[in-house]
Amino acid sequence: MMRAMRANTKWIMLIVVLAFAGLMVFQWGMDVSGGSSPAAIGEVGRVNGTKISYQAWTRTYRNLADQARAQKGSALNDLELDLIEQQAWSQMVSQILIEQELRRRHITVTDEEVRLAFRTSPPDWLRENQLFQTDGQFDFDKYRSFFSGPATDPMLLAQIEAYYRDVLPRARLLDQVSTGIYVSDSEVWSVYRENTEQVRIRYLAIDPERIVEDSEIGVTEDELRVYYRAHREDFEQPATAETRLVQIFRMPGAADSAAALEKANDIRAEIMAGADFAEQANTHSSDRATGQAGGDLGWFERGDMAAEFEAAVFALEPGQISEPVLTRNGYHIAKMTESDGERRRASHILIPIELGGIGESEILGRVDRLERIGLVQGLEAAADSIGIGVTRITLAQGTDFVPGLGVFGPVHDWAFHDSTLIGELSRVYETNDAFYVFELDELLPAGIIPFEDAEAAVQRRVILEKKTERAREIADGAAARIRGGAGLSEAAGELGLEVVTSGIFSRGTFVRDIGQTNAVVGLAFGLGLNEIGGPIEAGRRLYFVEVVERIDADREAFDRDRETLRARLAFQRREAALERWLEALHQEADIIDNRREVFQPRS
């Protein structure tokens, strides 16, 4: 056994090196000071005077991008790369701040502490090494025997020592930052009860918009102006950028459909020539859930599957193979394996219709033409040349949201940057779904929306406030009837409304038509069984609540799980304390960010 371990010393060293590098890159950042001349390669930034060199930033960025690419299993789009760039920057700034804080606090580690940690606290990546495991569990005897032998490579020990000398001070810093964190029994019980105690309710919801007609509400212009003056801050608007947008979607075309059909026919031909269907499914089917099981879909009846697929399967005899069948998911090759009355069991191989080949080339050609013409004649002319419409989009400063696209921060960075000119085109943004090109049309400064422009919104607000006041009066009347002995259904019937019964829920559950962790949910857990409470306001509606079922938290189960839950809560609080501490360091630090100047092409 020892001979086998020693034969693998170089392999273990590689794991140590990778794990140590991984810790530096992904937990605490990399070497951020660099050693090259900023004049030669660009100084990406400074943190309290400490330089971040171009090479150091690039190493961190590339490592994060490689990790993200491996997790995704495909190329990263522009938006994902922009997010990784920001992540790399934040990580490097944090690394410098942590190094500075370690020096400020004089946190070091002794040789004896390193030896003790090495003997008693092997890192996870060594614990998980099969050489140190017995029956799937870490074996301290194997671990100690391996490292106590005379043939242990000194370089391996040096690498592990470097790991501990880097990790232990940071662990001590974390302890200092999160010192004093304690979770009491009452706090553990409160969290446990919130997650396990459940109720079911009947509720009556009074919606002011529905129970009071607009025609019942009168509003004068003077009232609107008074409201506007009292709530001017509500009508502040940020700076906005009016833009034009052209989207070229990456939608599969006829050529892609033909390619998928050809592939399906080729696979079917191999099966008909004797190839094993299950092996072909495992190799070629994009439905990985069934592909790994030989394509088996199990038993199903009519109405369970896509109509086209069902029609093909129900027309087969057991053992027969269908021609490729087209559904919205792609082309299926079906094999009917068993029949039982109106039930069938079948396997399938799914070949999706994906963008590629000629289709991809054509799309890239359109993108190039759009950009080439747009730079000279503008986006409208470029879009017209390839037969695509232009969408007008308003961007608001201070948010990364793009109407119709969702969060898309890079567009905001471009539109509101001082160097972006009116009429300028953005770069081509690429995602998995489409290519996007923006043109800046107009920039509008922040300010208060004039009353004339805000009047309609003001009127809607005033009307809703008056409706809510009227609804409160109606709810007070219903409350009086309930106190007088009327049931919830009777009170609802008098108002022409219905009582709704919820599903069973806990405090943190989202409840349909009610919401989550709001006053109604709180009231439900404060009532006794069959007790009616209300009215209470939440989400612009007024509610009456009656508890019809309650499942109390199990004290015995809590006693069993108490320490596990306490440890989890303590860990969460330590993480939160660390985040707050790091955020405070960032806010107090003198941070100079030169990324735009370094990476922006110069004319």
Output the pLDDT for position 591. 94
Q: How far is CA 383 from CA 13, 319, 374, 388, 438, in A?
A: 57, 53, 8, 5, 11
Mean pLDDT of 210-234: 93
Output the pLDDT for position 15. 45
Is 215:449 a contact under the CB 8 Å cutoff? no
Distance, in Å, from the CA atom of 589 to the CA atom of 50, rounded to the nearest integer, reads: 11
Q: Is the pLDDT of residue 69 over 90?
A: no
Q: Is the pLDDT of residue 43 over 90?
A: no
**pLDDT greater at residue 146 or residue 556:** 556
Q: Is the pLDDT of residue 220 over 90?
A: yes
Q: Virtual CA dihedral for 326, 328, 332, 334, nearest 10 degrees?
A: -90
Distance, in Å, from the CA atom of 324 to the CA atom of 63, rounded to the nearest integer, reads: 43
Output the pLDDT for position 288. 84
Q: Is the pLDDT of residue 407 over 50?
A: yes
Helix (H) or strand (E) holding 200: strand 198-206
Output the pLDDT for position 151. 65
- At 277-287, the pLDDT tens digits run 999 999 999 98
Q: Is the pLDDT of residue 36 over 50?
A: no
Token pair of 472 as six digits: 């409160």
Q: Is the pLDDT of residue 18 over 90?
A: no
- At 111-157, the pLDDT tens digits run 898 888 888 888 887 888 888 889 888 888 888 888 876 667 778 78
Lowest-confidence segment of 35-39, 72-76, 489-493, 501-505 by average pLDDT = 35-39
- At 258-306, the pLDDT tens digits run 999 999 999 999 999 999 999 999 999 998 888 888 999 999 988 889 8
**pLDDT greater at residue 47 or residue 516:** 47
Q: How many CB atoms lie within 10 A of CB 446?
A: 12
Strand order in the sheet with 325-327: 296-301, 343-351, 330-340, 325-327
Output the pLDDT for position 357. 64
- Using pLDDT thresholds of 50, 70 and 90, give the confidence band for residue 603: very low
Distance, in Å, from the CA atom of 9 to the CA atom of 14, rounded to the nearest integer, reads: 9
Q: Is the pLDDT of residue 532 over 70?
A: yes
Output the pLDDT for position 600. 58
Output the pLDDT for position 37. 41
Lowest-confidence segment of 32-41, 54-63, 141-150 by average pLDDT = 32-41
Burial (CB count within 10 angstroms: exposed 0-12, middle 13-18, buried 19+), residue 598: middle
Output the pLDDT for position 455. 95
Antiparallel, parallel or unpaired: β 240-249 and 391-396: antiparallel
Helix (H) or strand (E) holding 325: strand 325-327
Q: In the chain, pLDDT over 90 holds for what percent of residues?
A: 58
Output the pLDDT for position 599. 66
Output the pLDDT for position 408. 86
Output the pLDDT for position 16. 44
Q: Give the chain's mean pLDDT.
A: 87
Mean pLDDT of 368-376: 92
Count CA atoms within 13 Å of residue 298 on its CB side: 5
Q: In the chain, pLDDT over 70 holds for what percent of residues?
A: 91
Output the pLDDT for position 132. 84
**pLDDT greater at residue 499 or residue 77:** 499
Q: How far is CA 438 from CA 341, 401, 495, in A?
A: 59, 14, 53
Long-range contacts, stretch 188-191, CB < 8 angstroms, 24+ apart: 188/558, 188/562, 188/565, 188/566, 188/569, 189/553, 189/558, 191/565, 191/569
Distance, in Å, from the CA atom of 436 to the CA atom of 414, rounded to the nearest integer, reads: 13
Lowest-confidence segment of 21-35, 355-369, 571-585 by average pLDDT = 21-35
**pLDDT greater at residue 7 or residue 360:** 360
- Using pLDDT thresholds of 50, 70 and 90, give the confidence band for residue 6: very low
- Using pLDDT thresholds of 50, 70 and 90, give the confidence band for residue 404: confident
Residue at token pair 């009071």: 212
- At 84-113, the pLDDT tens digits run 988 999 999 999 999 999 999 999 889 898
Distance, in Å, from the CA atom of 407 to the CA atom of 447, rounded to the nearest integer, reads: 24
Q: Is the pLDDT of residue 360 over 80?
A: no
